Structure 1
Amino acid sequence: MKKLWDEIKTGNLSQCYIFYGGEQYLKKQYENRLKQTFTDSLSGDMNISIFNGEIDVNNIIDAAETMPFFAEKRLILVKDSKLFKTGRKNDSEKMADYIETIPQSTCLVFIEDEVDKRGRLYKAAAKAGRGIEFKTPDEKELITWVQKQLKRSGIDIDIKTAVYFFGCIGSGMENAESELGKLAAYKGEGGVVSAQDIDEICTRSLEAKVFDLVDAIGQRKTDRAVEIYRGMLMAKDAPMMILTMITRQFRLMLQCRVLLESGTPQTNIAGTLGQKDFVARKCIAQGKNFTVESLKNAMKDCLEADIGIKTGKIKDDLATEMIVIKYSN
């Protein structure tokens, strides 16, 4: 990404980029930086065209063929086009053909969640420029980012509290920025963020609430587990989603146990599972409250509950509560 930032600063841009990946915050940041580069006092944003959704590719080509107004280049942003996935083959082929002859005066940027790198369009676009994957940074980078964000408001947060912050709100940067804004307004310049501040001010993610729920289940605190679960229902968290997240948590705990018992170093488990470090640490700690056999049984029961819900044999809220009670008892 540093290379892209340097290209934007110098104006030495390629003719085509593909921004893809799940971290919406970073994609939006670079999209905005590109817009700023192509906006000036003379022409305003006349040299920027934006297309959203499954737009007719002819409209994109027409815009790309338009000469820039009192500038060297014009910017074409194509967002969520689905051109890089199956389903729009003819349109993808047409766009791939066009990219091979795209004018030097055009900077064409596709912004997608998912892409098929094997497709002809991706290869053509990458040849004319490059593809850039926007992933959520690792834990160390996220902590540094949080500290910098708060420092702009004259507020400090230590590493341990920053880790706790992400454990409470999830790892998505877009949501994190919103929650940091709330903390900054609450603490004010010169403040130091504590775990108590986070508990009082920040909105806990569904993942964080499920961590709390599974903690109570593992500690055999049935009343507390049911209290957390019913609180989630009152907060309008869908029972089916809660069940899905509980199942995921049992699966991660089981995977952590198996990896540890096979000799995998604890520091490597997060990478092996494709999870953040704080998630892996939490799952390893929670997994100690269960046997391997009980985790296998829990996953089986969750699957049967899922099938029961989908076939209409049992209501989703009751099925999920039965899982909570059974494994916390």
Structure 2
Amino acid sequence: MPRFYLLHGQDEFALAEYVETIKAELGEPSMASLNITELDGRTVTLPQVQAAAGAMPFLTDFRLVIVEGWLTKLLSKTEGELEDEAETARSGGSAKETLTALATYLEDQPDSTRLVFVEKRDLPERHALVKAVNGQAWALVKKFDLPQGEALVKWVQTRAKAEGGTFTREAAQALAETERDPRALGHEITKILTHVNFARPAEVADVALLTSANSEARIFDFVDAIGQRRGKQALAELHKLLEKEEPLYVLGMVVRQFRFILLAKELLDARRSEAEVASTLGLHPFPAGKVCAQSRNFTLPALEAIYHRLLETDAAIKTGQTEPAAALDVLVAELTL
């Protein structure tokens, strides 16, 4: 069993799923959480990694330390970005010196810790650490490429089967043609399988009705991204909406969605069921379930503040105080801080 994992590539969805499988090996979640340390590669130093990896596991077989984006940061510096003296002193040496010291440390890393490096970009084979650990019995280097073409179609069908449903070949191809990001595809697959109640294969018509190619469906993704504070994705979803719709129409759809979420939050807090929420809001059970799920991303005061901010933006656009598309960009930035 490897004690060091170097996971890299552009398929962030598959990468994240693989990390989750490692976490699952720790067993019961409440106990596992006591033995997981996640470090931000933008600020971490080698001594901090060593300290985390050197800690003993608590009532589990091993401790898990996950470091995300550190090699990307170091790689950018070794490729020519200048390091100032303060940064070099803080990190304990230059990028090349850090990589050399890291490679040396990994040879004697404690067996009681699994150290996982996650890089959401392709690392070249000539990378110093890749070369240092490749072929070592205690290390695993795994690359996650984005599936394309026929491989993406098969990926959709395999993913659907893993969730307990099925897609026809034609439906899988139609979905692959509307979205190529595996993470977004995962959301779409779940959405479509829920729509067919996992009782029959998803057809092309289901894809056309529910995928993000449909503006109303894309609003769900946009609001999801806001609720989870994923600003980059929220902006991407907004710009896709604006490619097909006018800014005021998009804003109107967002206001409507947040009104539903606010009402759902109030009903759920009053211990109403999702069926009662659907009935009160006049929604089909499927979108009502999505609204209820989205309401859990927010507190009631936060939803009230967002709703008032949306109405302010609507008024500013309609009175000519601001340019519509720019106002929506600013709004997304504010809501995902």
Q: TM-score range by the shorter chain?
A: 0.5 to 0.7
Q: Distance in 2 between matches of 1:152 and 1:23?
A: 18
3-state SS in 2 of match to 1:45: helix
Alignment of 1:131-210 (within 5 A): 131-151=141-161, 155-169=165-179, 171-204=180-213
Give 1:57's match in structure 2, choosing from 39, 46, 58: 46
What is the TM-score normalised by the length of structure 2? 0.52
Contact 2:13/2:183, CA 8 A, preserved across alignment: yes
Question: Structure 2 residue aligned with 1:45, among 16, 33, 42?
Answer: 33
Q: Say which of 21, 31, 48 aligns to 1:33.
A: 21
Match of 1:326 in 2: none
Equivalent of 1:124, from 123, 126, 132? 132
Residues 153-302 of structure 1: pairs in structure 2 closer than 5 A: 155-169=165-179, 171-204=180-213, 232=243, 234=245
CA-CA distance at 1:151 after TM superposition:
4.5
Distance change >3 Å, CA 68–CA 164, structure 1 → 2: same
Alignment CA distance shift 1:121-1:149 (3 Å): closer
Task: Work out the number of aligned pairs and report it.
Answer: 202
Q: Residue 20 of structure 1 contacts residue 134 of structure 1 at CA under 8 Å; is this kept in 2?
A: yes
Q: Partners in 2 of 1:112 and 1:98 — Cα distance?
A: 19
Q: Residues 79, 42 of structure 1: CA spacing in aligned structure 2 closer, same or farther, 3 A cutoff?
A: closer
Query: What is the rounded CA distance, in whole Å, between the counterparts of 1:22 and 1:100 in structure 2?
Result: 27
Q: Deviations over 1:210-246 (max 9, x none)?
A: xxxxxxxxxxxxxxxxxxx99616467xxxxxxxxxx
- Cα drift, residue 148 of structure 1: 4.1
User: Given the alignment of the two structures, is residue 94 of structure 1 paired with residue 101 of structure 2, yes or no?
Assistant: yes
Contact 1:83/1:92 (CA < 8 Å) preserved in 2?
no
Aligned residue in 1 for 2:232: none
Partner letter of residue 90 of structure 1?
A: E
| SS of residue paired to 1:44 | helix
Structure 1 residue 47: Cα displacement: 2.2
TM-score (norm 1): 0.54
Q: Which residue of 2 aligns with 1:296?
A: none
Distance 1:145 1:19 in 2: 20
CA displacement 1:59-90 (0-9 Å, x = unmatched):
11101111222344221111111255131333
With over 3 angstroms needed to count, the CA separation of the structure-2 counterparts of 1:124 and 1:72, relative to structure 1, is farther
1:91-127 CA distance string (max 9 Å, x none): 3232222112212222111000232432332223333
CA distance in 1, matches of 2:241, 2:18: 41
**Distance in structure 1 (CA, Å) of the matches to 2:6 and 2:246:** 38
Question: What is the aligned-residue RMSD (CA, Å)?
Answer: 3.1
- Please tell me the residue identity of whatever aligns with 1:61: Q
Q: Distance in 1 between matches of 2:76 and 2:196?
A: 49
Percent of pairs with identical residues:
21
Q: Is the 8 A contact 1:99 1:124 kept in 2?
A: no
CA distance in 2, matches of 1:113, 1:15: 20
Aligned AA (1:67): M
Task: Determine helix, strand or coil for the equivalent of 2:76.
Answer: coil
Q: Distance in 1 between matches of 2:28 and 2:154?
A: 33
Paired residues of 1:156 and 1:190 also in contact (CA < 8 A): no
Structure 1: tracts of 5 or more residues without a match: 1-12, 206-228, 237-316, 318-329
- Select which of 15, 18, 21 maps to 2:6: 18
Q: Does the 8 Å CA contact 1:39/1:47 hold for their aligned counterparts?
A: no
Q: What is the Cα deviation at residue 39 of structure 1?
A: 3.6
SS in 2 for 1:110: strand
